[in-house]
Amino acid sequence: MSEPIVIPLPYRPPWEWAQFHEHFALRLLPGVEALDEARYSRNFRLGEVRGWFSVRPLPERDALELTLSASAASVRELLAAHVRKMFDLDTDPQTLLRHFAQDDAIGPLIAARPSLRLPAAFDPFEQAVRAIINQQVSIKAAVTITRRLVERLGEPQLDPGMPMLDRLFPTPDAIAGATLDSIGMPAKRLAALQRFAASVAQGALELHVEDGADALVARLCELPGIGPWTAQYIALRGFGEADAFPAADLGLLKAPTWGPGGIGAKALARRAEAWRPWRAYAAIHLWRNYAGR
């Protein structure tokens, strides 16, 4: 049996493992993903290639250690690029500090936690499914429903190198064609999910940001049941788009930095124009501020 492939992924400090550990712990899909104190692992599908990877921090080297299944040899560079985006390893914290230095709301938040980055998904389709399910429910409830999808529709993946990872996330075809009436979602939201999956499966929806995040948001909003919040969140979490900004998000509107009354969505959207092209990082710090951490 071929040995796993090990690749170091350096980053510019500060960068903190704790932020990513917390992010994935809240959203973990057992069977597809695994997490322990110092390692995140998951299954992947890239074209016809299937396998697994795991990541652990190497703080003494300002790097992550990426370990790939031997099956990933042909896509190792593409996979490494995906993981770099997923863990936001290419952002320069000094750029963010300079950009927000004069902003009286975001500047102090970034100065206090310059290590915060933008956690993103490995698979944009998977993240989009999660975002649609997450509409008007808690993260915990959304994870429960998504787990049911995986259990019912996820293809088995058995690899002796990572036995706890035994499922692949369902394909667009599988979700679009399934009977999911008892999955635990309202009928309208379920219909929106399956229309989205069908659009991706049929090629009617181009799920990429090659023409920019705004173009992706516009394409997503053409689908019934997907509004600006969901579309911006998919751009932010699904692709790690630095300027995506779901201005109507409750956590952003109620962050303590705005005072007891919060801020209105239109006022926040106007204020956020000054934060371009890094609005997503403002969102990360406002969410952290809202959570009180």
Q: Where are any strands of DSSP class E within 70-129?
A: none
| Nearest-angstrom CA–CA distance, 217 and 231 | 5
Q: What are phi and psi of 27, to 5 degrees?
A: -120, 10
The per-type count for the chain, helices as H runs and strands as E runs, is 14, 5
Residue of 88, 123, 243, 249 with catalytic role:
249
Q: Interior CA angle at 65 toward 61 and 71, to 5°?
A: 160
Half-sphere exposure of 53 (CA within 13 A, CB side): 30
3-state class (DSSP) for residue 87: coil
52 close to 42: Cβ distance less than 8 angstroms: yes
Element (H, E) at 3: none
Q: Which two tokens stand for residue 244?
A: 């995506």
Q: Tokens in use for 154?
A: 């996820």
Give, to the nearest 10 degrees, the angle between helix 139-153 and helix 17-27: 60
Is position 249 annotated as part of the catalytic site?
A: yes
Catalytic residues: 249
